[in-house]
Amino acid sequence: MNFTQVFDMLNLGLVILDKDLHIQYWNNWMATHSGLVKENLIGRNLLDAFPNLDNPIFARSIKSVLTFGNYYFFSQKLHGYLFPMKTSGTFKGEFQMMQQSCTAYPIREDNKRISHICITVQDVTEIARYEKALIEMNLRDGLTGAYNRRFLTMRLAEEFERHRRYSRSLSLLMLDLDYFKKINDAYGHQCGDYILKDVCDTISSILRKVDLLIRYGGEEFCCLLPETDLNAALKLAERIRQSIAEKDFLYNDDKIHITVSIGVHEFRGDIDSSDTLLRKADEGLYKAKKAGRNKVFSV
């Protein structure tokens, strides 16, 4: 009985290879998503058709299937995909290629000899998207959308090691909203929440895409600035300070003015850890507040 019609109706990719990796079968799902005509692929070597698979990891996995009859799983989390296929419009902003979960397993003859390899391909782009969104939610502040302190702990250590290894510039800003408690007392906590979100939007509009805004706690924020020396960081801090000081924050019928104090520090030779960098920026913030607030200070 010929099961080709059944294989072509499956909502997953199905590829059958001989022991020399020549393509013997390419179902409709693979043809549709790859954009390649199956008749043009039959008999071709898989590595010629897909040069990205000509790598040691794929070679070892196929050898394991052929030699020992093992099943081999290609996890999306490790590999992303085996076969380069464009994602649909829904996912283009997040994934350039379809995310795939693939399995390679042996096909045996009646005498138990392995004669072919079958590879199944499952589109898991939507699952990967939800997982990415969940991870992002765990690393962001629910109110402002800025990254949270947990993210800062991880990313600051990573950036610190990278910049120490390659002697690149790295600076950190610590910001605190001045007299924020008075706003909560005078206008209520809903107004306070609105101000926090608006301040974050204002800061984000000034930062570069590579810069990272983090809510450190309460009304205190950090800006992690890769490839930024102290002079550039001070200029950026002053732009942030001035933009917030000059802005009218409108809440209901009220115009509310607020200022920020900012501490700045650059990774230099005297910084022995990411915690020290954070502490030095915090010392600058303390000096800015002690000097009367609405100031930028570096130590």
Beta carbons within 8 Å of 241's beta carbon, 6+ residues apart: 259, 260, 262, 294, 295, 296
**Among 159, 219, 220, 266, the one annotated catalytic:** 219
Query: What is the mean pLDDT of each successive set of 10 residues along the chain, which is 299 residues long?
Result: 76 95 95 91 95 94 92 90 85 82 92 91 91 84 92 86 82 96 94 96 96 95 94 97 96 93 89 88 96 95
Total number of residues shown for the chain: 299
Does residue 161 have an active-site annotation?
no
Indicate the pairing of strand 296-298 with strand 260-266: parallel
Q: What is the pLDDT of residue 1?
A: 52
Amino acid at 214: I
* Domain(s) of CATH 3.30.450.20: residues in the chain: 4-131
State the span(s) of the chain assigned CATH 3.30.70.270: 139-298
Q: Which residue in the block uniquely carries the two structure tokens 């984000």?
A: 204
C-alpha angle 72-69-44 in degrees, rounded to nearest 5: 70
Beta-carbon contacts of residue 170 (< 8 Å; ≥ 6 apart): 159, 160, 163, 224, 225, 226, 227, 228, 266, 267, 277
Helix (H, G, I), strand (E, B) or coil at 144: coil
Give the separation between CA 189 and CA 292, rounded to whole angstroms.
25
Contact 289, 232 (CB under 8 A): no
| Gap between the Cα atoms of 16 and 150, Å rounded | 46
Q: Is 139-298 in CATH node 2.40.50.140?
A: no
Q: 4-131: which CATH number, 3.40.50.300, 3.40.50.10800, 3.30.450.20, 3.40.50.1970?
A: 3.30.450.20
Give the DSSP letter string of 32-94. HHH---HHHHTTSBHHHH-GGG-SHHHHHHHHHHHHH---EEE-HHHHS-SS--BPPTTTTTT
